[in-house]
A and B are shown apart, each in its own frame.
Chain A
Amino acid sequence: MQKVTGELLINKALELLDNGTVNRVLGWKRGEFAYDMTPAVFADAEELKNNFVFNDFCGANFSKYLIAETRKEGKVLVFLKPCDSYSFNQLLTEHRFDREKVYAVGIPCEGMVDISKVKKAAGDGILDIVCENDGLVVKTLYDTDKVIDCKEVLAERCVSCKSRKCVAYDELLGENGDVLDSSRFDEVEKLEKMTEDERYAFWQNELSRCIRCNACRDVCPACTCEKCVFDNPDSGVENKAVSDSFEEKMFHIIRAFHVAGRCTDCGECSRVCPQHIPLHLLNRKFIKDINEFYGDYQAGAEVGSRAPLVNYTVDDLEPSEAVQKGDADNA
């Protein structure tokens, strides 16, 4: 259950609209289903009062939306959860939007829930979900209402959350949290300890499910090129379902590589993947390697830091040494 309520956010938004600080608000509204909170732009008070929601399903990170929003007239209000604020900083570092045209309100986050875990716990035929103090009350077609503890259905990225600290805001609602000592590399380490064949089998199984919907790329606040390599008609891999096992590997290696050193580990890619491919395990491998090879680096922790792949030192390790490091066969 979130500590800040939708009501609190609505009031803040109304106040800022009213005093003219902003002329529109980026927020969440209910989509098709009770657990489907979609990003929306609210321009007037009525709309805001009727449709704005904030609950345990508001995972969407708004930072990327600011690229398009800041090209419009006037200031926009954006609510940033701690992980969103890292993306916000990263985008500023890359000069992707105009800071002057945004009013950012930081909000604390208690972790968002993963609907597939809720479905597993509550069964099929979900009619409605109400987020209450002691958890989620799930109404289904078949059963009496079920109460599920949010802690048990937290999204993976929130279980291993790296930081509860908002790193960018004009104003903060509630208390700021801390950078956490997270367990986010545990899964990566497990994979590193496997043999080459086991790792190959693991990834083959995961990546072969990819349907190349490109949702992971589209949602990623680090993937902001107007023209993407995967849209290039000469690339042979443009916007289409994979037809060979090479393509799925190439897509995933290149997607992850292009955000290496810039990925803030916000977890949006894994959240939106309809095939539940653990994309964060690719990103985190790069993050872990970067930390180990070139010193700890957290993308988005501050504005203006130099990303590790556009930097070097004269005595960096050699690629052959790098490969040995991540290899359990030699451990």
Chain B
Amino acid sequence: MQVKGEYKPLIVAFCCNWCSYAGADLAGNNRLNYPDNVKIIKVPCSCRVNPMFVLRAFQRGADGVILCGCHPGDCHYTSGNYYTRRRMALLFSMLNYLGIEKERTRVEWVSAAEGAKFAATMNEFTEAVAALGENKRLEDLRCKK
């Protein structure tokens, strides 16, 4: 995504309602900085994220997609994030197999107490994606403005 001449990657962050979204909130309350081009989408649990959502995000112009959920063992629904972990392991491995840059996708576990981790993760991920430049391999030209 091009923002006012200077390139800023668009990051879509799926955050589960119970841990990671609260973690993002805490980052905000603590006035910790993270890039404003990270767009958070709240989901009930990380396992709500269907592989199609990830691809859709790329289609609509995301340059990087990150999933955040409760730490393994801490999922509000007991085991949701264990399924997320398997699904995303396979999906990301497949994307890599198709030659799509592996730095564009990530899963990170962030608890409600980890505001600092949330901000640091987003800073770091945004930087990594910025280094790759725009997403060309999974983009949909029709969605370009």
Contact = CB atoms under 8 A, between A and B. Distances in A.
A232 B111 CA distance: 36
Contacts of B137: 200
B141 interface: yes
A326 B94 CA distance: 9
A125 B140 CA distance: 42
A191 interface: yes
Given A250-B55, A253-B94, A322 B89 contact: yes
Interface string A242-259: 011011011001101100
B87 interface: yes
Contacts of A229: 52
Nearest to A196: B99
Interface stretch (B5-13, B26-34, B101-109, B116-124): B101-109
A213 B137 CA distance: 23
B93 A323 contact: yes
Contacts of B142: 243-244
Given A229-B52, A326-B93, A312 B83 contact: yes
Nearest to B51: A257
A243 B141 CA distance: 10
B98 A318 contact: no
A202 B96 contact: no
B138 interface: yes
B37 interface: no
A202 B99 contact: yes
A319 interface: yes
Contacts of A197: 99
Given A247-B140, A253-B95, A320-B106, A289 B90 contact: yes
Nearest to A321: B89
Given A243-B142, A244-B140, A247-B140, A256 B94 contact: yes
Interface in A76-90: none
B88 interface: yes
A253 B98 contact: yes
A293 interface: yes
A246 B90 contact: no
Instruction: Indicate the size class of the contact surface on chain A.
Output: 35 or more
Contacts of B72: 314
B139 A246 contact: yes
B41 interface: no
A254 B138 CA distance: 14
Contacts of B113: none
Contacts of A203: 98-99
Q: Tell me if B's interface is mostly helix, strand, loop or mixed.
A: helix
Contacts of B97: 191-192, 199, 285, 326
B4 interface: no
Instruction: Indicate the size class of the contact surface on chain B.
Output: 35 or more
B100 interface: yes
B93 A289 contact: yes
A282 interface: yes
Contacts of A34: none
Contact of B93 (A201, A246, A294, A325): A325
A121 interface: no
B77 interface: no
A294 B86 CA distance: 9
A229 B55 CA distance: 14
A244 B95 CA distance: 18
A41 B108 CA distance: 53
Contacts of B93: 285, 289, 319, 322-323, 325-326
Nearest to B96: A323
A326 B92 CA distance: 10
Given A198-B99, A200-B137, A249-B98, A322 B90 contact: yes
A327 interface: yes
B26 to A, nearest CB: 23
25 contacts: A191-B97, A196-B102, A197-B99, A199-B97, A200-B99, A250-B52, A253-B94, A257-B51, A286-B90, A289-B94, A290-B90, A294-B86, A309-B83, A309-B90, A310-B83, A312-B83, A312-B85, A314-B82, A316-B86, A319-B85, A319-B92, A319-B105, A322-B89, A322-B93, A323-B102
Q: Which 6 A-B pairs have the closest CB atoms?
A: A200-B99, A312-B82, A322-B89, A199-B99, A246-B140, A319-B88
Interface of B: 51-52, 55, 58-59, 72-73, 79, 82-83, 85-102, 105-107, 137-142
